[in-house]
Structure 1
Amino acid sequence: MRAGAEDALASGSIGVVSIHPHAEIPDQLFTDPEAEARWRARFTSARNSTPDWARLAPDRNLYVSNISGVWEVYAWDRATDTHRQVTDRPNGTSHATLSPDGETIWWFADTDGDEFGQWMVEPFGGRAPGEEPQQALPGVHDGYPAGLEIGSDLVASATATDDGTTIWVNRGVQGERGGATIVYQSEHDAGAAALSYDETLLAISHSEHGDSRHPALRVLRLGDGSREEDNTVVAEKWDGEGKGLDAIVFPPIAGDQRLLVSHERRGRPELLIWDLATDTETELHLDLPGELSADWYPDGRSLLISHQYRARGELYRYDLAEGTLTRLNTRPGTVGSAAVRPDGTVEYGWSSSHSPSVVRALFTDGTDQVVLTPPGEPAPPSVALTDAFVPGPGGEIHALVTRPADAPDGPLPTLFSLHGGPHAEDEDRFSAHRALWVDAGFVVVHVNYRGSTGYGSQWRDAIEGRPGLTELEDVAAVHDWAVRTGLADPAKCVVEGGSWGGYLTLLALGTQPERWAAGVAAVPVADYLAAYEDEMEPLRAFDRALFGGSPAEVPDRYRECSPLTYVDEVRAPVLVLAGENDPRCPIRQIDNYLDRLAERGVGYEVYRFDAGHGSLVISESLRQRVAEVHFARRALGLASPVV
């Protein structure tokens, strides 16, 4: 670390616990007004998700958008091309869906981002003046949502609490819905996964074998009565230790009992069709190198295949009878949320590192165009990513790299941005966050470390038994490569991430102190033992599967992999951002870590916000980004604001 940077960031009295220095938030990051306006526009420009439509009324659609300055739910009537904001809550709303007939909108109401709450309903056309949204499911208690399957005559909903998972069926049309019948209850993590079109079969994902990361499937036949015993088990499927099964969807055809399933029998997510009528399965052997997911075409004769490989996505149509695979004409980049409308049009979200996200449609005549454009100017473009493949201790590591376009030759300050998850990946998609760091003069390096998805089951599961430390071996290999090749200035390397990436950031600062000049950790795991005690039960189940047991069973593993264990080795200044209502990385365990930093007199700053695991409020996101970049540039001895 550059001499003097730690002293410059230290504030408060050494040894005073729980009085933490607040992050500085200047009015601007750039002295150039155009540069300042450009980075802010990338965050504030209107964006929206790919629309979801009602199965029996495809002109009725829902999407989430930041048009109001907060991510909220919007209704779109395609027949009249009218849009309506549905929700208006201080901390935003992100989960919503439609009833099959399009008459009602379902959205999930939590409290200030804590993810714990109830499903609410209201008419698609809007509530009457003074009318409040109604609780959707009488008899269902508050909890963390674990799946919602809405039919015309029944709803299957799953809720997780500290006691485990409960799945209910509520029968009857909305407004006359009867009481809730419990059809499944377990102390283990589970969820409602798929409902057949005729509403007779319900697929349940469960982890009764003790491993929520590799679930099994159970299918129930839903009876006509209101008693639990009226619902019978049709079939079970489990591929054994370390091989998960995920129910995707039944075909949109009455009486069709084929369930599309994701499996990993050959070391990567692939596809099979499970016919519940005969309890037989057909594996689909597709000549594609990456990981696969899919959806049905409306006639049930073809599949829309989503193929993810080396941080890029593409779409295919697979004809089941002919066994033919046809690539659809999508552009290079990341493809997400793809689905087939009743007329055969394929709608999907698309972006690349250079180009902001849009909703596009591939029509049956072969044309491709944007179908949903939010108001206002689009976000300014950014610099494209390049690929790097670095030898690592567990195999080749894929990194994505971008460098400021007008930067001088030679090593530059470098941000190693570590994704959350851990079961996720950095992709060739647009990121206002990345673009800001590039504009601020940083090379940005994304590391798809072991634990990431997109590179096969073995790569994803390599962190089992030693999470955190395993990923950081890969980060170290990429760091060495970046320094060796002259890309990164070894004295000006910053490690940064949110959620699991925030956990890795704090762990890196303590276990690799010689590598880092500063760290920025957003909503991190900081004290794993305390985090396990306070976090939501679905994450405790995930941790037990990842570590090989609970802290009571394998305490040494949790201590070995906890950032708090290494806090006395931290030398670089660190900024920690934390949500007061976060159920995933709770606030108490972060305070434990900060108190230890305060005892040691290490240079650090803290940004606390009144939300959960991140914020859906755009102005809040802007403040956090300002705090992060301003902190990092000061820690490196660089001018802030950026000249």
Structure 2
Amino acid sequence: MSTQSGTEYPSAAVPDRLFDDAEAERRWRARFHAPRISVPEWAIDAPDANVYVSNASGVWEVYSWDRSTGEHRRVTDRPNGTMHATPSPDGRWIWWFNDTDGDEFGSWVREPFAPGAAAERAVPDVHDGYPAGLEIGTRVVAVGVSTDDGSELFAHIDGETTSFYRHEDDAGIASLSRDESLLAISHSEHGDSRHPALRVLSTDGFTTIADKWGGEGKGLGALEYSPVAGDQRLLVLHERRGREELLIWDTAADTEQEIELDLPGEVVAGWYPDATALLVVHFHQGRSSLHRYDLSTGELSSLDTPPGRIGGAGVRPDGTVEYSWSSAAQPTAVRARTASGEDSVLLEPPGERAPESAPVTDAFVDGIGGQIHALVSRPADAPEGPLPTVFSLHGGPHSADEDRFSAYRAVWLDAGFAVVEVNYRGSTGYGSAWRDAIEGRPGLTELEDVAAVHDWAVQSGLSDPEKCVVNGASWGGYLSLLALGTQPARWAAGIAGVPVADYVAAYEDEMEQLRSFDRALFGGSPETVPAVYRECSPITYVEAVTAPVLVLAGDNDPRCPIRQVENYLDRLAKREIPFEFYRFDAGHGSLVIAETIKQTAIEVFFALRAVGLR
């Protein structure tokens, strides 16, 4: 494969099939092809007008659903798919973000909810950029844009567009009050985009009404204004006590009400339509649950969802809670729970339902930074004794692996691998200190936890130490490359999807939001703290790599740009280490199901050969 640098890289092998058994081959592909759907979002003033995304066409695209007629319509049809869309409050328009080939750079467009007219640029006089928030009112529209110059926020009011905020650090549109008189924005003028502050502005002149910041290392996140007109209370996430919790900020009076819930882990929430209660999504140790919190009585009641993952939730005007649920064993379903407690499937997309998979179990491993939580899966028909094992490292880093359905995890199990998913330091859901423990030493800190879980997996008899594969995408891809260079004795192979490979070059080429994030995470830029970037960059350790390496990267990736991947591969090519490279025409991953299947087949086939199973 010829590249921009002129170096020829070995192309990744694409197998015709992964399994000799026809049913096994059909089953793993069917999990990816099975149609999936997001929880519908409805227009607040026209709740019959709904928008969702689905892969039913083979590409993730935007769909509309008119509940009054039952009609479903595919709205977008783009080669690389569309994931971001929302209805206008009156239900007349569908807004979706129009980028180029998955590069995330573009503008918001809108088209009528009723079919017919073509999409048009939604807000005039707003330049293209990376999205930084959107709030749509009946009179006020607020749009955030990020470019290499920083963040710029615009308002379109009564036919006129105004740029009302500009700053070199990360900022974004957060929430618009129901009466459209107040606009909350998120900003990092204090220099730390990982722990943002909030500001409330009047939409009449954009004067500051109130400011709120949690202090150093304690961010604030605006969830949403009350849905009741005239109610200027803003629901906010804070972390004053070392984890993300809820408060209600009356932004007009500048008073607040902290909401203390007797729940371990962390929470996020949204309003009930009459603003008398909150729908709380609770996350703890890889699983989530739904609760109703009554604001007048302080009563917290469970909605009794089974163990698994809540992928999104909202409350309809009649009090029905609509939500997405799955577990490692059970495929995703969009369900509806009425106010009386009746629970049923809301939407069943056309086509074959995904075949089930194996459940996950929990492992709690002592590490130098505290107890590490991992999710462990074994093939259903696994023989006794140590197994080849994939250590699958999630992206983010501020994310977490969960007890959710994953066609990707399932195919590794079908191929005979155990799968270990590590919620290393840096993961969310385990408190602020756990999430922020990677500051100043990212990558290497997480890998200390991966090493501890790897030791446990070998010592417990789960994993064959000669057949352990480290694997991940995005931040997980970065960790995989870093692990191959700093822990070479542990790994039989490494797979890195859309990774950071050369951190200095990545910083130079990536979108500005990520530069701000990196400055906060590393303690500065490559110019101000060069030693930290050097110590934490995979390219620093390329000479120590001994295991076979597979790298997958997108041509249009603004998060982990292609040049820095090539820099790493150029160095790797000078050594006698077997490696393969797969380059695809999209951005930070693909929304095309056929492409996802192809990449998955490449990864599993590579690992099977690397550990001697093919």
- Structure 1 length as normaliser, TM-score? 0.94
Question: 1:2-401 alignment to 2 at 5 Å?
Answer: 18-128=7-117, 132-172=118-158, 178-223=159-204, 230-401=205-376
Secondary structure of the residue aligned to 2:488 is: coil
Instruction: Find the aligned partners of 1:391 and 1:17 in 2 and give their Cα distance.
Output: 46
Q: What is the CA-CA distance between 1:277 and the residue it aligns to?
A: 2.5
Distance 1:365 1:509 in 2: 54
Letter in 2 for 1:119: W
Deviation digits for residues 166-195 of structure 1 (CA, Å, limit 9, x no counterpart)? 1111123xxxxx231012111110000000
Pick which of 583-592 and 283-292 moved more. 283-292
Distance 1:179 1:508 in 2: 52
Distance apart, 1:127 and its partner CA:
2.2
Q: Is the 8 A contact 1:93 1:108 kept in 2?
A: yes
8 A Cα contact 1:17 1:598, kept in partner? no
Report the 3-state secondary structure (helix = DSSP H, G, I; strand = E; otherwise coil) of the residue aligned with 1:600. Answer: coil
**Match status 1:433 vs 2:412:** no
The residue number in structure 2 matching 1:519 is: 494
Aligned length: 612
Equivalent position of 1:5 in the other structure:
none
Q: Tell me if structure 1 keeps the 8 A contact 2:469–2:607.
A: yes
Select 1:479's aligned residue among 448, 454, 459: 454
Inter-partner Cα distance in structure 2 for 1:155 and 1:98? 13
Partner Cα separation in structure 2 for residue 333 and residue 625 of structure 1: 24
Aligned position for 1:3: none
> CA separation in 2, counterparts of 1:201 and 1:154?
10
- Tell me if structure 1 keeps the 8 A contact 2:186–2:221: yes
Rounded to whole Å, the distance in 2 between the matches of 1:354 and 1:235 is: 47
Cα contact 2:477–2:495 (8 A) shared by 1: yes
Alpha-carbon distance in 1 for matches of 2:370, 2:206: 48
* 1:414 and 2:400 aligned: no
Task: Name the CA distance, whole Å, in 1 between partners of 2:537 and 2:479.
Answer: 10
The question of whether the paired residues in 2 share the 8 Å contact of 1:251 and 1:258 is answered with yes
Give yes or no for the alignment of 1:506 onto 2:485.
Answer: no
Residues 304, 317 of structure 1: 8 Å contact kept? yes
User: Counterpart of 2:370 in 1: which secondary structure?
Assistant: coil
Alpha-carbon offset, residue 377 of structure 1: 1.4
Structure 2 unmatched runs, 5+: none
Q: Secondary structure of 1:387's match?
A: strand
Aligned partner letter, 1:437: W
**2:417: which partner in 1?**
442
The 8 Å contact of residues 434 and 444 in structure 1, kept in 2 or not, is answered as yes
Q: Deviations over 1:20-78 (max 9, x none)?
A: 00000011000000000000000001111111000011111011011111000000011
**In 2, Cα distance between equivalents of 1:273 and 1:528:** 39
Q: Give the equivalent residue in structure 1 for 2:527.
A: 552
In structure 1, distance between residues paired with 2:342 and 2:535: 55
Equivalents in 2 of 1:254, 1:391: separation in Å?
Answer: 50
Identity of aligned residues (%): 68
Aligned with 1:634 (options 604, 609, 613): 609
C-alpha separation in 2, matches of 1:68 and 1:569: 44
Contact 2:214 2:220 in 1 (8 A): yes
Q: Deviations over 1:94-118 (max 9, x none)?
A: 0000000100000000000000001
Letter of the 2:267 counterpart: L
The residue type paired with residue 140 of structure 1 is: V
Deviation digits for residues 366-398 of structure 1 (CA, Å, limit 9, x no counterpart): 100110110011100000000000000100000
Residue matched to 2:440: 465
SS in structure 1 of the partner of residue 290 of structure 2: strand
Question: What CA deviation, in whole Å up to 9, does each residue of 1:111-149 have, x standing for no partner?
Answer: 000000010110001124xxx310001000000000000
Deviation per residue, 1:445-487 (Å, 9 max, x gap) = 0000000001000000000000000000000000000000100
Does 2:549 correspond to 1:574?
yes
Runs of 4 or more above 2 Å deviation: none
**TM-aligned CA deviation for residue 282 of structure 1:** 0.9
Q: Report Cα offsets for 1:300-330 as digits up to 9, x if no partner.
A: 1111111100010011111111111111121
State the alpha-carbon separation in 2 of the partners of residues 50 and 231 from structure 1.
Answer: 34
CA distance in 2, matches of 1:277, 1:65: 39
Q: Is the 8 A contact 2:173 2:186 kept in 1?
A: yes
The aligned amino acid for 2:248 is I
Please give the alpha-carbon distance, in whole angstroms, between the structure 1 residues aligned to 2:515 and 2:225. Answer: 30
Are the aligned partners of 2:209 and 2:252 in contact in 1 as well (CA < 8 Å)? no
1:562 paired residue number:
537
Contact 1:262–1:293 (8 Å) recurs in 2: yes
What is the TM-score of this pair, normalised by structure 2?
A: 0.99
Deviation, structure 1 residue 365: 1.6
**SS in structure 2 opposite 1:306?**
strand
Question: For the residues of structure 2 that align with 1:187 and 1:594, how far apart are their CA atoms?
Answer: 33
Amino acid at match of 1:500: W
Q: Which of 589, 592, 597 does residue 564 from structure 2 map onto? A: 589
Aligned partners of 2:594, 2:294: CA distance in 1, in Å?
A: 47
1:530 to 505, 512, 536: 505
Distance 1:577 1:179 in 2: 44
Q: Any stretches of 5+ residues in structure 1 without a counterpart?
A: 1-11, 173-177, 224-229
Alpha-carbon deviation of 1:17?
A: 6.3
